[in-house]
Amino acid sequence: MCRCRMRPDRVADAPVHNRPALMSKLEIHQLSVHYAATGGGSVHALSDIDLSLDPGDFVVALGASGCGKTTLLSCIAGFMQYSSGQILLDGEVVTGPGAERGVVFQKHALMPWLDVVANVEFGLRMRGVDRATRRATALDKLRLVGLEKFAHSPIYQISGGMQQRVGLARALASDPEVMLMDEPLGALDALTREQIQELILELWWETRKMFFFITHSVEEALFLATELIVMTPSPGRIAHRYQLEFGRRFIECRDARAVKSDSEFIRLREEILGVIQQSAHDELDAA
């Protein structure tokens, strides 16, 4: 039984061979989004968002529906244009979707006409990687998510949890610098959800990529994040930031229950729930 306390000397030894050769960085400066509402007018979806990610950062955005979490992710992914501000990846302005930013969706968004491994290698195929190389990469990523035995199963015959694992493997196959995840566990049952949370932490620790993750669940956010941003709606903005280390503790001791029942974890959970509820009340009062 481990004590589940941080030991800084151990935490520092991230797998060196997996470190990106070029230190990448994602920077978001003063990002605002106004989009045209149906029936005239505009919605102020995001207001002056500042955020910066280095390799190994796990940023989790938490907040009620309509707080702009998904808008923020869509902007980073390049699915959506922004009104003002800037998103820079390695100093270059993000102007559209690209393979250096992998996305995992809430609905799995896999291609049901392809089997599991063909889904994972889809991006490599689109970019003209030869058959043998892309198959090897895809199988390697499937091993990472524990699905190598299901490589040739049809997508529609595997469970929701397994579909999300395929989604993770698919995003990893392109070896992106940033992993963007839009509530990937929202539709899963509680048990599967916890298993995949652990898997995501392991993948994060092994790859040392930048992770940006959206969730509704306070517990999930606390467990995964190195930086937790609590967002509030109209306009969508970052209300609170927390620097956390529960994810690293899990990597240390591999005991999610111990991490989640830690008194510090519970205290923060209650505090953040309070913050979110307060902002929901303010919202109602304002309306």
Query: Where do contacts with other proteins occur on this chain (CB under 8 A)?
Result: 2, 77-79, 96-99, 101-103, 105-107, 109-113, 122-123, 126-127, 144-147, 149, 154-156, 159, 161-162, 170, 174, 180, 191-192, 195-196, 198-199, 202, 253-255
Between 162 and 275, CB nearer to other proteins: 162
DSSP letter string over 14-78? --GGGS-SS---EEEEEEEEEEEPTTSSEEEEEEEEEEEE-TT-EEEEE--TTSSHHHHHHHHHT
Between 83 and 106, CB nearer to other proteins: 106
CB of 131 to other proteins, least distance (A): 15
Structural contact between residues 18 and 207, judged by C-beta atoms closer than 8 angstroms: yes
Bridge partners (DSSP) listed for residue 228: 60, 242
β-strand 92-93 against 84-89: which pairing, if any?
Answer: antiparallel
Between 109 and 273, CB nearer to other proteins: 109
CB of 78 to other proteins, least distance (A): 7
Between 177 and 276, CB nearer to other proteins: 177
DSSP letter string over 62-79? E--TTSSHHHHHHHHHTS
Task: Compute the half-sphere exposure of residue 85: CA atoms within 13 Å on the CB side of its CA.
Answer: 21
CB of 196 to other proteins, least distance (A): 8
CB of 119 to other proteins, least distance (A): 9
CB of 97 to other proteins, least distance (A): 4
Residue carrying the six token digits 């045209």 = 36
d(CA 189, CA 194): 9
Task: Compute the half-sphere exposure of residue 203: CA atoms within 13 Å on the CB side of its CA.
Answer: 28
Between 122 and 242, CB nearer to other proteins: 122
Q: Which of 260, 259, 228 is nearest to 243 (CA)?
A: 228
CB of 195 to other proteins, least distance (A): 4
Between 180 and 275, CB nearer to other proteins: 180
